[in-house]
Each structure stands twice: as C-alpha cells, then as structure tokens.
Amino acid sequence: MQQQQPARCALRALLLVRRLAGRVRDAPGRRHGSNLNQPLSGNDCPRPGGIATFMRLPYAASAHGLDVAVYGVPFDCGTSNRSGARFGPRQVRCESSLLRPHNMATRAAPYDSLQVADVGDVPVTMYDTQRAMGDIERFVRGLLSHGCVPVGIGGDHTTTYPVLRAIKEKHGPVGLLHLDAHADVNPTMMHCEVAHGTPFYRAVQEGLLDTRRVVQIGLRGSVYGPNEERWSLQHGFHIIQAQECWFKSMVPIMETKVLPVLGAGPVYISFDIDCLDPAFAPGTGTPEIGGLTSAQALEVIRSCKGLNIVGADLVEVSPPYDTSGNTALTAANLLFEMICVLPGVKNLD
C-alpha cells in the first residue's frame, strides 16, 4: 500500500493539471476546444471591463507563435498641426471593445483562422525623433522575425517610415496602398527630414517601395505647389484624388485602378484616418473637407481580399479632438476590417 501511495499522488496531480489546462483552454479569450485566441466576449465580461487590448484579445509579451501581432505606437512628435495622436493607440483599443469577432457582411472569421494577439506598445522615446525611428524599426523587426503580420495603431504618420524599413528587410521593396488626404512626400518640413509629411519621400529615397505598385487614394485640399503631385507621378505612383470618388462606390475603382496595380507581390496598407471626411473622423491632426465616407473606406479595405498583405497600420487618430469617440471607434472598425482581409482568413460557412 505504501508503494502505491506515490503513484496515486502522481495520478491525482496529473488529473488536476489536465483539469486546469482545460479551464485555460476554455476560459474567456479562447474558443471552446480551440487553441486560437478569441476576443473577450461582452457576454463574459461587460464591455467597459477587461484589459484594454485591441478587441480585448489576449496580450502577448512576444510574437512567437502568432500569425498577426497588433501593436501600438504612441508617438506624435512629427505632427505639424494638432497633436494628440500619441494617445491614439490607447483610445482605439478602448473603443474596440465594442467589436465582435465575426464580420457579418463579408463572413470573415479572422479569429477562427489565425492566431492573433495584442503585443502592446513600442517603447518609443518622445525626446529624440531620430532615435524614435530606431525604436520603432527594432520593435517591428522583432515582430517580423517570428513570421507574423504586424498591424499597427498610430501615432502620427511619421511612424510608418521605420515600419517600412523593417518590412523591406523581411520582404524587399513592397507595394503600398496609401489612404490619406495628403501625399506625405515632402522632402523636408521646416528643414527636418523626418516628420509626418515626409515618410513616403524617405521611403522612395531608401528603396523601401516598389514604386510601380503604389496607389494613393483620397488626396485633396490645398497644397504648397504643383510639384507634390508631380513628384509622385514621376516616381510611378498612381493617384486617385478624393473628388474622383465623390458620390461613387469604390468597388469599381478598386477593381479597375487599384488591384491591377498592386498585383500579386507583397503589399503594405497605410490608412491615415484623415482620408475620411471630418464629418466621419473629426479627431485628427490635419483634417481636410471633402474626404471619403466610412462606407467607402469599408469598400476599399474589403476589396483588398486576396492581396498579399504583409503589414498594415492606421494612424493619426487624435483623441483630444475626438469628443464623441467616433473617430477612434471608426479606426477600430477599419483595423478589424484589415485583419479580416489578411491572407489565410477563412469565411464562415
């Protein structure tokens, strides 16, 4: 009997471990019987509660084992007008608690298809812009080393530049779908080479983009001179001004003018929230009237299904100017839509 006692204790311990493991697998944040992360449901915890990750997904300290890593970049030191985008990641995550895991319109089920988690924010300095670019690049390079797709929440548009540097190291020069009110191709801003109006000039100069596969949608407003658009066209960019989109569905435009250009190669999506009209997204640093509607933005992103998307970001949400929270809520929805069109996402039966 005494010899059997240790064996019985070991068996009891094993059974206890199995029961606890079952609780972990079936706890909120995981679908029953699945190892894929699930957003915390509003039926398990009230929406104002829980940890404020994107869509209340599990937080991961590392991108190891992830297919998609959502991260924030709380940086707005490249802003030329209204600041506050440094608070964008936190507010977008907060508003994202309203979202649910399945896409009713497209039937996409990203969290039944891919392993997704929120990996937190880049520990980016606020005091040295050049050093900040290095902070962001190193962080994203670390995500990419695990083979996942990085999906960023800005932050001002300066932050896309170091991300593209990391992306190029992994995938080579990439195509770009850039939604914005502004081209962001200034050589400098007040004699500074790194700011939120210069990222795509820098990207071209450093060979980060396949310039034959760059499409900019939503450009509008006043400009400093004629060279801004001319420079983009001379470098092979395809431009679709906002006025070309007025009172139209974006689906035909995407099918005829955008998708054929982006092709089968790797593509990065960068969405500046000021691409939308201020009626839909007032909480941003440099709003311009006459922008796209939120419905048109959905059409653009949903049309990207089938592209070889290797990364994405949504930038320039400024919560201090977003009194209703609608800008951050719209941004959260658009980020979810981007995740829904990533390679490998399956549709519900």
Q: How far is CA 167 from CA 61, 78, 234, 243, 267, in A?
A: 21, 21, 24, 32, 10
Q: Dmax over Cα atoms in the chain, in whole Å?
A: 92
Residue 64 counted as an annotated binding residue: no
Query: Which structure tokens are listed for 7?
Result: 């064996």
Residues 152, 162: contact at Cβ < 8 Å? no
CA–CA separation, 115 and 69 (whole Å): 9
Residue 313 counted as an annotated binding residue: no
Residues 71, 153: contact at Cβ < 8 Å? yes
Beta bridge partners of 118: 59, 70
Looking at residue 209, what DSSP letter applies? E
Beta bridge partners of 73: 154
Residues 157, 202: contact at Cβ < 8 Å? no
Instruction: Name the residue among 223, 321, 327 with its Cα closest to residue 281.
Output: 327
Looking at residue 158, what DSSP letter applies? G
Q: What are phi and psi of 4, to 5 degrees?
A: -80, -20
On the question of a cis peptide bond just before residue 155, with omega within 30 degrees of 0, the verdict is yes
Number of Cα atoms under 13 Å in the Cβ half of residue 87:
16
Name every residue whose Cβ is closer than 8 Å to that of residue 273 and which is 6 or more positions away in sequence: 281, 283, 284, 314, 315, 316, 317, 327, 330, 331
Residue 191 counted as an annotated binding residue: no
Residues 339, 115: contact at Cβ < 8 Å? no
Name every residue whose Cβ is closer than 8 Å to that of residue 193 and which is 6 or more positions away in sequence: 187, 202
Residue 182 counted as an annotated binding residue: yes
Q: How far is CA 157 from CA 21, 74, 117, 314, in A?
A: 43, 11, 23, 9
Residue 184 counted as an annotated binding residue: yes
Give the annotated binding-site residues for Mn(2+). 157, 180, 182, 184, 272, 274
Give the annotated binding-site residues. 157, 180, 182, 184, 272, 274
